[in-house]
């Protein structure tokens, strides 16, 4: 099979042996995979990963339990042990021995096929096209905020960053009935939010009024400082960016203003699948380009360019 791999010094498309399936695993033929900011950070040194990149995908099961073969699926990315205390509490994504697809000790989905635990698979309803289903993983990460933080119609929310995740988070919070403002640097991206009825302003025009709930999704080391300054006293700051850089941090404002800081990573897939099936979240407007897997190296470079949103890979 072909796979887009990172060896610590370079990215390349290479021929590799297909994965051998262990107990409880399924083989998925990848139809579409999406490049996200975490993939770009991995090739800058984040997590020290080596292997096949990619964790956002939709495909068809070709090998595994008979009930799953031939079904179109997406898959949760944390491969947990299923036996520890964290797994027993339904928090397998925090299992201390977990592997993470395309991020930690498990090959990813930028390949012709990918091996996924059967327990992680979710069937994709017929009404969700591949171009939407491939957004299930990042959309689940956006919905995770609602699992971690209680919001109401009175909650004043601020999302910093108009990238892929920021646009999804803004839509999820808007759909939850909160008052949302999205701040970014790209007029075309902000226009996507405005079409969904979300207030969106360019950073240069942002009045920096503090908010009850601030979501940092800039994907940059400097975004954290702006997010802290934008959180009102006793407000909540949700951190979404995963970056390779080390961030120097003055904790005094967090203490003085009694700010609650919430790290937020992966989410469960059912809320995202339901939202995609219902059409309440616009994801296809976030697609900037698509490339064949054989052009994967150039696709990564394209995805890193300012103003570019989702780049899809098609094996």
Q: What is the pLDDT of residues 197-243, one digit of tens each?
A: 999 999 999 999 999 999 999 988 788 899 999 999 999 999 998 77
Same-fold call for 2-135+283-314 versus 139-263: no
| Residue 18 buriedness (CB in 10 A; 0-12 / 13-18 / 19+) | middle
Residue with tokens 């990238």: 163
* Res 284: pLDDT: 94
248 pLDDT exceeds 90?
no
* pLDDT tens digits for range 115-154: 999 999 999 999 999 999 999 999 999 999 999 999 999 9
For tokens 């610590």, name the residue. 8
Q: Mind listing the pLDDT tens digit for each residue in 75-110?
A: 999 999 999 999 999 899 999 999 999 999 999 999
pLDDT band of residue 183 (cuts 50, 70, 90) is: very high
| Range list of H helices, 196-313 | 223-229, 252-256, 270-278, 296-303
Fold for domain 139-263? Rossmann fold (3.40.50)
What are the backbone dihedrals phi and psi of residue 7, each rounded to the nearest 5 degrees, phi first? -110, 10
What CATH class does 2-135+283-314 carry?
Answer: alpha beta
**Contacts by 182-191 with C-beta closer than 8 Å and gap 24+?**
183/158, 183/159, 184/160, 186/162, 186/306, 186/307, 188/307, 189/162, 189/163, 189/307, 189/309, 190/162
What is the rounded (10 degree) CA torsion for 67, 73, 74, 77? Answer: 30
Instruction: Using the predicted structure, report yes or no on whether residue 244 has a pLDDT greater than 80.
Output: no
Residues 6 or more apart from 257 whose CB is under 8 A from it? 231, 232, 233, 234, 235
Q: How high is the pLDDT of residue 242? A: 79
Q: How far apart are CA 218 and CA 221, in angstroms?
A: 8
| Short-list 148, 165, 190, CA closest to 243 | 165
pLDDT of residue 72: 98
Q: Looking at residue 161, what DSSP letter applies?
A: -
Helix or strand holding residue 291 (H, E):
strand 287-292
Domain borders along the chain are 2-135+283-314, 139-263
């Amino acid at each position: 099979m072909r796979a887009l791999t990172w060896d610590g010094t370079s990215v390349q498309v290479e021929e590799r042996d297909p994965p051998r399936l262990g107990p409880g695993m399924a083989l998925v033929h990848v139809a579409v995979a999406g490049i996200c900011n975490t993939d770009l950070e991995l090739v800058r040194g984040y997590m020290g990963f080596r292997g096949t990149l990619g964790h956002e995908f939709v495909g068809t099961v070709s090998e595994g339990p008979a009930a799953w073969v031939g079904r179109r699926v997406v898959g949760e990315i944390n491969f947990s042990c299923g036996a520890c205390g964290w797994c027993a509490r339904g928090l397998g994504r925090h299992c201390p021995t977990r592997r993470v697809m395309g991020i930690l000790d498990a090959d990813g989905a930028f390949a012709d096929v990918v091996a996924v635990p059967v327990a992680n698979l979710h069937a994709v309803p017929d009404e969700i096209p591949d171009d939407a289903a491939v957004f299930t993983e990042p959309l689940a990460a956006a919905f995770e905020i609602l699992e971690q933080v209680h919001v109401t119609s009175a909650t004043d929310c601020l999302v910093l960053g108009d990238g892929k995740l920021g646009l999804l988070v803004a839509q999820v919070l808007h759909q939850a009935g909160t008052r949302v403002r999205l701040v970014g640097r790209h007029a075309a991206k902000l226009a996507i939010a405005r079409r969904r009825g979300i207030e969106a302003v360019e950073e240069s025009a942002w009045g920096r009024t503090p908010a009850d709930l601030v979501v940092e999704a800039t994907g940059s080391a400097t975004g954290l400082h702006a997010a802290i300054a934008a959180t009102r006293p006793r407000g909540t700051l949700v951190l979404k960016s995963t970056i390779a850089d080390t961030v120097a941090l003055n904790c005094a404002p967090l203490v003085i203003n009694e700010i609650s800081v919430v790290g937020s990573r992966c989410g469960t897939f059912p809320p995202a699948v339901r939202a995609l099936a219902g059409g309440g979240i616009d994801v296809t407007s976030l697609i900037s380009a698509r490339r064949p897997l054989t052009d994967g190296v150039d696709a990564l470079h394209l995805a890193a360019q300012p103003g570019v949103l989702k780049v899809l890979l098609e094996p």
